[in-house]
Structures are given as C-alpha cells and as structure tokens.
C-alpha cells in the first residue's frame, strides 16, 4: 500500500486560488481586446432571424420562408434510399472534392444542351453546398477591396453582406414599377430597369453585376431585351456576371427562361448558379453548382479547396440520378421540370385570387414560387408610426404573425438600408400544400369580415 506524502494537488490548488496573486492574475486573464473581424461590421443584424423566430412562435400558417411543405418527387427520394442502403459503400465516403463524378457529368450534359456548347464536367462545373455557398464563393474568388458590384433591387438579401465581407462596395439600381393599363393586376414584368440609370452605375471600379432571374422576391423573369441590355453593358465595361438562376424551371404562362451565358460575349464572363433544392423541391439537401468557363471556375475551386472542400456524397449521387432521369425525359410531359411549374402555376393563381378578394393587391409573378402583395388597404389595422426607423411593411408583417397567425416577409428586407422605398408590400411563398394555402385564405377571409363588420 502506497502512503500519500505531502499535501494533495487539490489542497495546493485551493491554496493558490485563495491567494491575492492568483485573484489578480484571474482578473487579467479575461480578454479585453476586440475579437470581431472588421469584415463583419454592419452585417450582424438580420431581420430574417427575428421573423423566423416569430413564425415559429406565433404562426398557424407560414407563407414566409421560401421552401415547399410538400415532399420531393418519389424518384428523387427513391434515389436517396438507393444511395444510402445500396451495395456501393463508397458513397458513404469522400468523393471528388469539386463534385461527385456522376453529378458533374450529367450536369455538363444537361447544361451543355441548354447553352448550346460542349462542357467539360471537370473544369466547367463545380458542386457546392447549396447555391448560397456558390454565391459566397463567387464574391470571395473575384471581389477585391474597393471593387464595385452592381446589385439590382429588390434582391436576395445575402448579396449585400457577402459583397461587403469580400471587401467590395455594393452599388444598387432598382427595378421601377410601371402602372398596368385598364385596371389589370400588376405583373412582375411591369417592374423594369431604366436603361440610362443602369448604365450610369457602371464605372472603372465595377467588377461584377449580380443577376437573379427568375427574381426572388418579385418573380420577375427577365426578357431577352432586358438581358441583352445587361450583356451589352458587361461587354462594354469588361464586367463579370454572377447569374443566380436557382428558379430556372419555375416559369409560368408560357414565359421562357433565357440564360444570360448563352448571349453573345457572355459565356466567358458569366458564372451561372443552380440549386437542386429549388429544382427538385428538396431545399434541405443543400446541393448547388456553378457552371462557367474554366478561367473563372478555377478561382472558385481555389476558395472551395481551402474552405469547405467537400459536399455530401450521398446527396450528390441522388441528385445525379434525378438529373439523369430528367435528361432522358427532357421536354416530355412526364418530366418533373414540366410537371412542377404546371402545379405551382395553379397554386399561384389560387393565391392571387385569394389576396385580390380581400384587398391585398398581388403582383402576379412570371416565375419562382413567390408572390408580392400591396398591403396599403390594411393600414387602418396597423397605423403608420411617424419618424419610425423601422419600415412599415416590417412592422405590419410582425403584427400580422402575432395577431393573425399568418407569416410573410416584408419587401423592404430585399432592399438596401438607404433605399427601402417600397415598404407597403409583403412577400408570400405559394410552394405549399393546398391545405396550407386554404388555411391562409381562411385567415384572410375572416380578417376581411372583421374589417367590414359594423
């Protein structure tokens, strides 16, 4: 049996802790220097965090967040099951860092067909953790301190902070609405760029322009003429185009989605971004991609290999199987890329009628699964607050989710702080089950009756 000699370690530490010298040292050990990197200044607040929390707390119907509440197609989930439980155990391990070979190969085939050019799957396609990461990579790869990046308002809210994190300077140009004729409902096509105003935003410091067509939140699908205007300015000023086309298959009323990379002079200066989440109604899978010339994608690969490096193999394999099916069925009625927009157009039309009936004038979207509506007629329920720093639509959206149980997103969230001009609109997502949309309609109809009751 060993005898313990001298004071125990515990006794020694307790004596040290009680000494004045240790207390003084402990106080000095707390960090006092600033820890936040300068690149995070001014981008820490995000209204989405607050709105999502409010929706989770109060809403009975959430038409705010942009994801479907219906399942992905059976062929995709079956592909996921095969990938997960099949005999190829290597699908549980790392795959090629820049994209699972079966996925980049079918993406190269598919988008090569759409763009009318031969694509090398190893150099012209790269897979990312969702389109969100693809956007981040583009700004990190191409934007230096002081570079200007043109952003068209309204815009998907991550563009501005991502540009700033890269050291760039966002330059904003708005889509301006034109009143429709003959009392018709406004369309997203009525929101247009002013050619002279757009041209004035290009300068020697302009490095890139961000294009989002179909556009979130408006649902605008840019026409060939509008895209040619942008393309001509890009060529004239030798500017890159970061083209966010995640809603490329969600276009309605016979509209055509035109890829700006297919226009004259644009392939060499465009990175096109896509999303399996939007394409196959599986936003939680987080599989995205970039398509473009090797001279651009090589720099995106550099960012990727020094950050995330790898995307989930199983999800990539299932998406590859989904695209292989769609490649074989391209243009046929059985194609999911035809069936999904057909179904969503019905949901859009139903929500348009529902909103119009209660006095929330909708802007009919040409694409995406979002719809913006004018809430001006409801100001009596939520009176304006003079000199308030908070946009009216933001206060309205918060009031509506708390008091009516219906969650939406204020349009001002899609404008920069200095240009929140259109603060009497909210955005609805209609990629929802019919029962969800009916529940929203019930809330609106009850609200209308309360407003008209003596």
pTM for the model stands at 0.92
User: How far from chain centre, in Å, is Cα 394?
Assistant: 19
pLDDT tens, residue by residue, 40-87: 988 887 777 888 899 889 888 999 989 999 999 999 999 999 999 988
pLDDT confidence of residue 191:
97
pLDDT confidence of residue 15:
57
pLDDT confidence of residue 210:
98
pLDDT values of the chain reduced to their tens digit, one per residue, 454 residues: 444 455 565 555 555 555 555 555 555 678 888 898 988 988 887 777 888 899 889 888 999 989 999 999 999 999 999 999 988 999 999 999 999 999 999 999 999 999 999 999 999 999 999 999 999 999 999 999 999 999 999 999 999 999 999 999 999 999 999 988 888 999 999 999 999 999 999 999 999 999 999 999 999 999 999 999 999 999 999 999 999 999 999 999 999 999 999 999 999 999 999 999 999 999 999 999 999 999 999 999 999 999 999 999 999 999 999 999 999 999 999 999 999 999 999 999 999 999 999 999 999 999 999 999 999 998 888 877 877 888 899 999 999 999 999 999 999 999 986 666 678 999 999 999 999 999 999 999 999 888 777 6
User: What is the CB neighbour count within 10 angstroms for residue 256?
Assistant: 8
pLDDT confidence of residue 49:
85
- Integer-rounded Cα radius of gyration of the chain: 26
Q: Name the burial class of residue 182, with classes exposed (0-12), middle (13-18) and buried (19+) by CB atoms within 10 angstroms of its CB.
A: exposed
pLDDT confidence of residue 45:
79
pLDDT confidence of residue 3:
46
Fold of 74-329: 3.40.640
Task: Judge whether 43-71+335-449 and 74-329 match in fold.
Answer: no
pLDDT confidence of residue 293:
98
Q: Where are the domains of the chain?
A: 43-71+335-449, 74-329
43-71+335-449 has CATH 3.50.40.10 classification: no
């Amino acid at each position: 049996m060993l005898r313990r000699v001298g004071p125990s370690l515990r006794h020694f530490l307790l004596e040290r802790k009680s000494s004045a010298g240790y207390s003084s040292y402990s106080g000095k050990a707390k960090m006092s220097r600033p820890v936040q990197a300068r690149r995070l200044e001014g981008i820490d607040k995000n209204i989405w965090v607050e709105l999502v929390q409010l929706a989770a707390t109060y809403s009975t119907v959430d038409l705010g967040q942009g994801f479907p509440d219906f399942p992905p197609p059976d062929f995709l989930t079956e592909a996921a099951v095969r990938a997960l439980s099949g005999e190829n155990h290597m699908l549980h391990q790392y795959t090629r860092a820049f994209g699972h070979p079966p996925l980049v190969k079918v993406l190269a085939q598919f988008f090569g067909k759409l763009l009318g050019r031969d694509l090398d799957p190893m150099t012209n396609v790269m897979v990312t953790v969702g389109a969100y990461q693809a956007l981040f990579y583009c700004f990190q790869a191409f934007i230096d301190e002081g570079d200007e990046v043109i952003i068209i308002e309204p815009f998907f809210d991550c563009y501005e902070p991502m540009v700033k994190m890269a050291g760039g300077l966002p330059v904003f140009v708005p889509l301006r609405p034109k009143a429709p004729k003959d009392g018709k409902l406004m369309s997203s096509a009525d929101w247009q760029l002013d050619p002279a105003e757009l041209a004035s935003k290009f300068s020697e410091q302009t490095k890139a322009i961000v294009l989002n067509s179909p556009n979130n939140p408006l649902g605008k699908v840019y026409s060939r003429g509008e895209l040619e205007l942008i393309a001509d300015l890009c060529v004239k000023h030798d500017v890159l185009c970061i083209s966010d086309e995640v809603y490329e298959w969600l276009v309605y009323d016979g509209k055509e989605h035109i890829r700006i990379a297919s226009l004259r002079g644009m392939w060499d200066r465009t990175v096109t971004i896509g999303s399996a989440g939007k394409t196959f109604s599986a936003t939680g899978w987080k599989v995205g991609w970039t398509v473009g010339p090797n001279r651009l994608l090589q720099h995106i690969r550099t960012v990727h290999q020094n950050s995330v490096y790898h995307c989930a193999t199983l999800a990539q394999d299932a998406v590859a199987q989904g695209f292989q099916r769609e490649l074989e069925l391209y243009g046929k009625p059985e194609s999911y890329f035809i069936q999904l927009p057909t179904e969503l157009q019905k949901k859009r039309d139903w929500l348009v009628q529902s909103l119009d009936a209660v006095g929330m004038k909708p802007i009919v979207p040409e694409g995406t699964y979002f719809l913006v509506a004018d809430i001006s007629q409801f100001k009596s329920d939520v009176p304006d607050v003079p000199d308030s720093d908070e946009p009216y639509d933001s206060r309205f959206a918060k009031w509506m989710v708390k008091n009516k149980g219906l969650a939406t997103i204020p349009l001002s969230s899609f404008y920069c702080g200095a240009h929140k001009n259109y603060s009497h609109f909210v955005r609805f997502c209609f990629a929802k089950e019919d029962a969800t949309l009916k529940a929203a309609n019930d809330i609106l109809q009850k609200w209308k009756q309360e407003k008209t009751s003596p």
